[in-house]
Chains A and B, each alone.
Chain A
Amino acid sequence: MTAHPNLLLEHFSYTYPFADRPAFTDVSFELLSGETLGIVGPSTSGKTSLLYAIAGILQKHFPAGIMSGNILREAAKPFISPAEIGFVFQDQYMQLSGATETVEAEIAFSLEQLGTPPNIIRERIVEQVSQFHLEHLARRHPQTLSGGETRMLALACEMAKHPRCLLLDQPTESLHPEGINLLINALNRIKQSAMLIVVEHRLELINALCDKVLFLLNGNQQFYGHPSELFSSDIDTHSLDIPSWIDAQRKLLGHVETLSYRKSLRTLQQWHSSNLQT
């Protein structure tokens, strides 16, 4: 028996009111709970709009837009309730409520709006503060945080909700490598019990995290499949930021065998030593 996809898009298109071209056209994919989808593509390809549609934001705020095709959340039921969707916006400052005076209170804020019992809120704060190493910031005012610290807080706030569907719009923006590692670990932790959709320019992250990848270019779906197929396929990927080791392998050997940095390094090492011996 095949499992029903928790999220299914069929030939889904959307045009904003008064726009001269669609934000995206003919997008199709399916996603099960426990799976992660990466969405890649250059800016203005419709990636963020697609996230807004999945979250139901477009339907609510731009009902005059033209929509076609199907979007099914939770197959039988029409919607995953908004309370079960987490959304990390690209602009981390947009995420702050502006209504709280400490980092801890900010994490509690959306949980309080959802009517979560106080003891559980307490647990979630502790969990997120330790997950994102925010201990030294816990009593700081959210408005006094740096750009990267605000990003970590935004991630903590959304993950504290234990969403069943988490949408992340360029979550690594303004994070340092250690922050990115914390993010990857956190995502791996909730991955088992949730659907994740990540819009990201860093293909390294897509590669480390995602089971499926969707490549959008000017609103058109160019590719949908396993990340490793994206680079070995004939699709024109020049508009993407290809990881430099993949590019090195392609330039030196003319092909890409693998997506993992270690394997790629080993292949190049073999190439290197065999060339030096000849």
Chain B
Amino acid sequence: MAFVEFTNVGFSYSHNSPVLHSISFSIERTEHVMLAGTIGAGKSTALKLAVGLFAPDKGSIRVDGISPSIPSLYEIVKRIGVALQNPSDQIFCSTVREEMLYGLRNLGANETSDTFQRTVALFGFSRLLDKHPYDLHPAQRRLLTIASAIAMNTPFYIFDEPTSGISKPERESIVGALHQLRIAGKGYMLITHDLAFGMEHCDRILVFNKGILAVDESLPDFLQRENAQGILKKNGLQMPIVPRMSAQLAQNTITAQYPDFISQLRQQQTSSKQAP
């Protein structure tokens, strides 16, 4: 049974403008999925529906077999960790420590708990624990929301625009965290405009276009498609530079990953030199 399952989900905030039209997809517990799309395509709305902050107008949503809603929220938060697009919508405790512990306390854990300690170490927050979240830099606030979600040790995570407005050091922290999640066998979904980042860290791509699911495919398959660039363009997106460059430099070496790309080029260079 799929972990997150949307079946013909439709939703609108007001009567005249539906945000999602009949969206269906299912994600397994250990999958790593990116969700892309232009602004206003309904990506963040899908997140809010998945955790039960809103109820769908039509269709159904199941998370680990449970229908997300306000009454079932207690069960949902044990299954999906979430970082919202705007950190200020999420943070409300008066210290970094309290913010990270807030969810854990509800589950009976405290500061000595293993996952709290590990998450603090993972994000290098030990110096910041007594600070007020609003004294943090916006980029660190975003890290805090992601760290708070990971501290909950749920099997699945949804991060909305995790790389928005952050610089290289924070990006490296997030990459490290995603890597740890992968090793621990946890699944995640990244909602992102940063396709290069999404393609490096996910195995499957979903694209929303004006509330319709336009693409749902494994990333390697999608990138091998001849018109992958055209499909993204049709949906208002742009192929990141590395796959574009590798396609232009040497056909059939399409890869989303920059280190792979460099090593492939190096290999080609050495193998062609060795050839008689």
Contacts and interface: CB of A to CB of B under 8 A. Distances in A.
Contact of B262 (A41, A44, A252): A252
B106 interface: no
- Determine the interface band of chain B, counting residues with CB < 8 A from chain A: 35 or more
B43 to A, nearest CB: 8
Contacts of A151: 39
Contact of B38 (A42, A144, A176, A244): A176
Interface in B163-194: 164-171, 193
Interface in B60-115: 85-86, 88
A65 interface: no
Contacts of A272: 249-250, 265, 268-269
A265 interface: yes
Interface in B9-56: 13-14, 17, 37-40, 44-45
Given A177-B237, A275-B269, A276-B268, A248 B161 contact: no
B238 interface: yes
A41 B13 CA distance: 39
A90 B236 CA distance: 24
A73 interface: no
A151 B85 CA distance: 12
Interface stretch (A5-13, A101-109, A188-196, A235-243): A235-243
Contacts of A243: 241
A43 interface: yes
Interface in A69-105: 90-91, 93
A91 B88 contact: yes
A268 B245 contact: yes
A39 to B, nearest CB: 12
B258 A144 contact: no
Interface string A148-191: 11011000000000000000001001111111000000000000
Interface of A: 41-44, 90-91, 93, 137, 140, 144-149, 151-152, 170, 173-179, 201, 238-241, 243-245, 247-248, 251-252, 261, 265, 268-269, 272, 275-276, 278
5 contacts: A43-B170, A148-B40, A177-B193, A241-B167, A276-B269
